[in-house]
């Protein structure tokens, strides 16, 4: 199958990157956004910014100016229909359905193998379906630089300028500058640090957040993978050559994250570059970060509402309110509270305990309340 | 019409007080129990103790051992059907429907006039439909003493032994003992005090809470009323003589509380007695007091649940939960919170701000959200 860019009779995409494809892994349960996010209706399918577009749709909107319709979405079979409904312009053969979750290397590697088979020069950029970007023009400029840096054979990651000493993300240490562009070598990837270490990182000015964004030639990614995980690379290429073997091949693929499988060992060999990005990024990890993304509701200082603010009544209260059931939500004398009101479950939480909602989801899973998780 | 106690063919009630009638004023919006209590479904119609009986039904259950079916309920026309449904054993002609609210003197005085016409020796005991009593045997013993004290022409009130320096109730100061029984003269009624004054009252040992319970011969009450409010007394007696004049007479009746109309001036003349009661009493004024009436839910220290506790999930939280919509209610890291979950409105409140829910109801009334108030 030819790429859309060269398909006879189709218009060339209005993009500066003829061989550039966006890969959007659309997975993850979003447990810390329960009860809004559920296994059957995960985070990426929801409008979490009040923009009118789901995170997945916003990801599409953000990338297609660079790629045209050259987008591959990789998602679980359970979400195929929802993805089709939300992205009507995604060509059907550009939606890859994973029979089961096998971590990020299998998902992105499968897309890479499919692209390599379509276009040996394909460059892919992998961007999660459930992140939020502040300055989209700056983001695309950064991605364009990464595409340029990928052309010479680097695995290129994007290093987000940190705004605070976050302990929830991995960090990337910048090494020497590569050429005249904004790209640097990656000195090292580091795991999620504690607060003290994160402060030290920020003070050096050399560390960036690892948002899991990779830009790389499809063939380079698979060749790097073949160096450390030859069976996985071979399996993915087999799959691309004969899609009918999916149910046979998929369950045997190694379950590993792309960072561990490729990015970290390749960095040690000097094969990874990083393009710093200062465009404002958030992975909307919990309701506290969701609140931080929203403006205060009109006439409600200190209160962020995702949804219809006319459904909220306040007496001396602050916090994050998600009125998602159509009911009235009244707050009286509560500070920094999170209230998420859905048709079958209600969450009332302290904003500072926003990570701990997973404790509720764990209880419900143990109790096999699959109707609610 | 003869009293049930002497009605031919009916068994005499198994009560020591042949002429004693309970009068139950069933009114009040219960605004501070919104969104559970509404204008259309006020507090007295709800089971607020988890007993399986509404406050009105519990009031009936508590009094009928003393009165048999000699009970008059006075309520607004809007609640007549609900009262009939909840009290199927209440004879239809013992339910008085007020065309509009005209305060407690008109409500209780109307009942007194009806009873006086039925039985010149009738003694009435007036007990609100929306209070909770701890020790019901002690309560009935106290009422029996009050009935005895009322026989000699006193207006008898019941003085609740205070358990703390409450600022939300009026107080009654005990005067000299009357005879050999537990009754005392009332030295004075005092309005709701501030905290400091309430502490002083408790320290003296002479003050009791005024729960608005009055026991008095019907004729004595109306004669006392005629002394200070002759038009009101005459109007109520006219109404009892000719019930068909209700819509004509009712709107012209003076709107005044029984305390101001009769109890306070009569106390100044030495006509009021008080029987102290130590039976545990609460007017369930708000969700904080509702929580205090409930035991902690099983396995949930510090959490009181009115309703189905299996619908509640907790992580490090305390408070009062009313799961009244069938939905799951999850609390994470919130202390002393009140969560009231009804099918069309949700309240999340700090327990210490339990009185301030009325601010929400005021907003909704201004906005004419009659569907929610």
Cβ of A363 within 8 Å of Cβ of B313? The answer is yes
Q: How confident is the model at residue A199 (pLDDT cuts 50, 70, 90)?
A: very high
Mean pLDDT estimate for chain B: 93
pLDDT digits (tens, 9 = 90+) for A127-174: 999 999 999 999 999 999 999 999 989 999 999 999 999 998 999 999
pLDDT digits (tens, 9 = 90+) for B43-81: 999 999 999 999 999 999 999 999 999 999 999 999 999
User: Is residue A2 over pLDDT 50?
Assistant: no
User: Is residue A6 over pLDDT 80?
Assistant: no
Give the relative orientation of helices B55-67 and B136-151 as an angle to the nearest 10 degrees. 50
Nearest to B206 by CA among B270, B274, B283: B274
Quick one: how far is CA A76 from the chain centroid? 15
User: Is residue B141 over pLDDT 90?
Assistant: yes
Q: Which of B327, B354, B372 to mutate to test the interface with A (most CBs of A within 10 A)?
A: B327
The pLDDT of residue B16: 58
CB A182 within 8 A of CB A271: no
CA atoms A223, A229, A234, A237: torsion sign: negative
Residue B35: asked if its preceding bond is cis (omega within 30°), the reply is: yes
Cβ of A357 within 8 Å of Cβ of B330? The answer is yes
**Is B186 exposed, middle or buried (CB count within 10 Å of its CB: 0-12, 13-18, 19+)?**
buried
CB A18 within 8 A of CB A68: no
Q: Which of B37, B323, B328 to mutate to test the interface with A (most CBs of A within 10 A)?
A: B328
Q: Which residues of B touch A343 (CB under 8 A)?
A: 327
Cβ of B345 within 8 Å of Cβ of A332? The answer is no
pLDDT digits (tens, 9 = 90+) for B310-336: 999 999 999 999 999 999 999 999 999
With a pLDDT cut of 70, the percent of chain A lying above it is: 96
Q: Which of B305, B346, B366 to mutate to test the interface with A (most CBs of A within 10 A)?
A: B346
DSSP per position, B148-184: HHHHTT-EEEEEEPPSS--SSSEEEEEEEE-TTSS-E
User: Is residue A14 over pLDDT 80?
Assistant: no
The pLDDT of residue A128: 97
Overall average pLDDT of the A289-296 stretch: 95
Q: How confident is the model at residue A13 (pLDDT cuts 50, 70, 90)?
A: very low
Three-state secondary structure call for residue A331: strand
Q: Which residues of A touch B309 (CB under 8 A)?
A: none
Considering just the CA atoms, what is the radius of gyration of chain A in Å? 21
Overall average pLDDT of the A105-122 stretch: 97
The pLDDT of residue A180: 87
CB-based burial, A83-120: b 16+ in 10 Å, e otherwise: beebbeebeeebbbebeeebbbbbbbbbbbbbbbbbbe
Q: Distance from B367 to chain A by nearest Cα, in Å? A: 11
pLDDT digits (tens, 9 = 90+) for A227-246: 999 999 999 999 999 999 99
Q: Distance from A144 to chain B by nearest Cα, in Å? A: 43
User: Is residue B10 over pLDDT 60?
Assistant: no
Overall average pLDDT of the A340-360 stretch: 97
User: Is residue B284 over pLDDT 80?
Assistant: yes
> What ipTM did this prediction achieve?
0.88
With a pLDDT cut of 90, the percent of chain A lying above it is: 92
Mean pLDDT estimate for chain A: 93
Interface of B with A (CB under 8 A): 35, 313, 315-316, 327-334, 337, 339, 341, 343-350, 352-353, 356-357, 359-360, 363-364, 369, 372
Three-state secondary structure call for residue B87: coil
Quick one: how far is CA A198 from the chain centroid? 22
The pLDDT of residue A17: 80
Nearest to A172 by CA among A267, A254, A58: A267
Phi, psi of B43 (to 5 degrees): -45, -45
Q: Which residues of A touch B32 (CB under 8 A)?
A: none
Q: How confident is the model at residue B30 (pLDDT cuts 50, 70, 90)?
A: confident
Residue in A343, A344, A359 nearest the CB of B332? A359
DSSP per position, B301-339: TTEEESS-GGGEEEES--EEEEE-SSSEEEEES--SEEE
Residue in A330, A346, A350 nearest the CB of B360? A330
Structural domains in chain B, sorted by start: 4-282 (3.90.550.10), 297-366 (no CATH)
């Amino acid at each position: 199958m030819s790429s859309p860019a060269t398909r006879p009779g189709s218009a060339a995409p209005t993009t500066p990157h003829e061989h550039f494809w966006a890969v959007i892994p659309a997975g993850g349960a979003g447990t810390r956004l329960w009860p809004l996010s559920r296994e059957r209706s995960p985070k990426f399918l929801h409008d979490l910014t009040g923009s009118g577009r789901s995170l997945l749709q916003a990801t599409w909107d953000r990338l297609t100016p660079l790629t045209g319709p050259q987008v591959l979405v990789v998602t679980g079979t359970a979400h195929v229909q929802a993805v089709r409904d939300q992205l009507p312009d995604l060509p059907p053969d550009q939606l890859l359905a994973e029979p089961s979750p096998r971590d990020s290397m299998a998902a992105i590697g499968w897309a890479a193998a499919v692209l390599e088979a379509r276009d040996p020069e394909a460059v892919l950029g992998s961007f999660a379906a459930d992140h939020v970007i502040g300055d989209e023009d700056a983001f695309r400029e950064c991605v364009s630089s990464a595409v340029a840096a990928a052309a010479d054979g680097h695995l290129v990651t994007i290093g987000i300028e940190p705004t605070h000493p976050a302990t929830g993300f991995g960090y990337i240490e910048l090494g020497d500058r590569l050429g005249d562009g904004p790209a640097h070598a990656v000195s090292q990837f580091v795991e999620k640090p504690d607060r003290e270490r994160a402060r030290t990182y920020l003070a050096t000015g050399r560390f960036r957040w690892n948002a899991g964004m990779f830009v790389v030639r499809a063939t380079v990614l698979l060749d790097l993978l073949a160096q450390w995980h030859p069976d996985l690379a071979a399996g993915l290429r087999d799959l691309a050559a004969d899609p009918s073997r999916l149910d046979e091949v998929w369950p045997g693929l190694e379950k590993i994250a792309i960072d561990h499988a490729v990015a970290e060992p390749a960095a040690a060999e000097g094969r990874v570059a990083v393009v710093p990005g200062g465009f404002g990024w958030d992975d909307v990890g919990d309701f506290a970060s969701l609140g931080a993304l929203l403006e205060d509701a009109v006439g409600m200082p200190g209160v962020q509402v995702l949804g219809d603010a006319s459904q909220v009544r306040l007496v001396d209260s602050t916090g994050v309110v998600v009125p998602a059931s159509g009911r009235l939500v009244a707050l009286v004398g509560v500070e920094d509270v999170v209230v998420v009101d859905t048709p079958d479950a209600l969450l009332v939480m302290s904003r500072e305990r926003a990570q701990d909602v997973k404790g509720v989801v764990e209880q419900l899973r143990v109790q096999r309340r699959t109707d609610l998780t």
